[in-house]
Amino acid sequence: MPEGDTIHVARQRVAPVLEGRTLDRFWAGKLRGRRPRVGQHIEAVRVHGKHLLIDFDGELTLQVHLGMVGRWSVPSGAVDDDETFARYRRNPRLRLYLATAGGVALCYAAPTIQTFLRSDEPDHLTPLSNLGPDLCVADADAAPVVAEAVRRLRARLPGSDLIADALLDQEVAAGIGNVYRSEVLHRHGIWPFTPVNRLDDETLTALFTTACRQLWRNSRQPGPRRTTTAPIAGDAGRTDNTFVYHRYRAPCRRCGTPIDRSYEGRYARSAYWCPRCQAEPDDGVATR
């Protein structure tokens, strides 16, 4: 499952090909909703959480969620013509082909591709209406986003929900996936299975603020590996340069204790933590 920063990085590649341009060719496999027309103007390419959004004129928005295996591709120098289209079309995993005078944008294997009509009407519902704020924002913009995430967390969830689940809930805040929830909790020494009602607002604010920083940094400095740590020599070959994520049984980078892992929780996704840095609180009350 991609984290929000992955989609922001994809947007940086896709936008120059599409934004402000006219659609020359459109092909979609498994599209739900109205089909964009050749000749339509592309007003913007946006991100909200894990969704890439392509706004056409006429209030039509194309929404793509990459799921576990989807990806965007912008072949450098590709020029749309029948031969180019036929060549890419032969790949059975191709889901989207969008061409403008600026080039070609392709999407492979995405499970969710649909269109909806956006509107400025306040009660107009779209597939994104219930999503929390996008956490992938610069430091200067983070405070109101974090405050809204904390407000939603308090308002939406029963307090007995686990913080590890709450961080993945895209209706609380959009953009955190499996990597960042483990990393953020380790950064603040929080046991992943702490009920939300045992955490004060200051702690929740700190967790979401760290998530914003990590998402933003990785979206602006995309490298071969996402990092939540400074690069560490001798760690080449791992997918992610992390404190705890995907480091089951490896020594904690802070205290050396072997990292633990669990698939408990509402989403049955792997959570990683250090049993010493993020100990289960003795008194049942967790604080930062």
Output 98 or 185, the one with its CB closest to Zn ion: 185
Candidate ranges 6-14, 53-61, 122-130, 275-283; the one touching Zn ion (CB under 5 A): 275-283
Q: Smallest distance from the beta carbon of 249 to Zn ion, in angstroms?
A: 13
Output 119 or 287, the one with its CB closest to Zn ion: 287
Candidate ranges 40-48, 72-80, 131-139, 277-285; the one touching Zn ion (CB under 5 A): 277-285
Amino acid in position 103? G
Candidate ranges 21-29, 81-89, 199-207, 255-263; the one touching Zn ion (CB under 5 A): 255-263
**212 contributes a contact to Zn ion by CB under 5 A:** no
Q: Smallest distance from the beta carbon of 252 to Zn ion, in angstroms?
A: 3
**276 contributes a contact to Zn ion by CB under 5 A:** yes
Q: Smallest distance from the beta carbon of 186 to Zn ion, in angstroms?
A: 8
Scan residues 65-104 and list those touching Zn ion (CB under 5 A). none
**255 contributes a contact to Zn ion by CB under 5 A:** yes
**253 contributes a contact to Zn ion by CB under 5 A:** no
**154 contributes a contact to Zn ion by CB under 5 A:** no
Q: Smallest distance from the beta carbon of 256 to Zn ion, in angstroms?
A: 7
**274 contributes a contact to Zn ion by CB under 5 A:** yes
Single residue of 157, 172, 196, 277 touching Zn ion by CB under 5 A: 277
Burial class of 6 by CB neighbour count within 10 A (0 to 12, 13 to 18, 19+): buried
**Beta-carbon count within 10 A of 67 CB:** 13
Q: Smallest distance from the beta carbon of 190 to Zn ion, in angstroms?
A: 12
Candidate ranges 55-63, 207-215, 231-239, 257-265; the one touching Zn ion (CB under 5 A): 257-265
Q: Smallest distance from the beta carbon of 180 to Zn ion, in angstroms?
A: 18
DSSP string, the chain: ---HHHHHHHHHHHHHHHTTSB--EEEESS-BSPPPPTT-BEEEEEEETTEEEEEESTTEEEEEE-TTT-EEE--TT----HHHHHHHHTSTTEEEEEEETTEEEEEES-SEEEEEE--S-TT---TTTT---B----HHHHHHHHHHHHHHHHHHS-TTSBHHHHTT-TTTSBS--HHHHHHHHHHTT--TT-BGGGS-HHHHHHHHHHHHHHHHHHHHS--SS-BSS---TT-TT-SSB-SSTT-BTSBPTTT-PBBEEE--STT---EEE-TTTTPPPTTS----
**254 contributes a contact to Zn ion by CB under 5 A:** yes
Output 173 or 277, the one with its CB closest to Zn ion: 277
Distance CA 119, CA 104 (A): 28
Interface ranges with Zn ion (CB under 5 A): 252, 254-255, 257, 274, 276-277
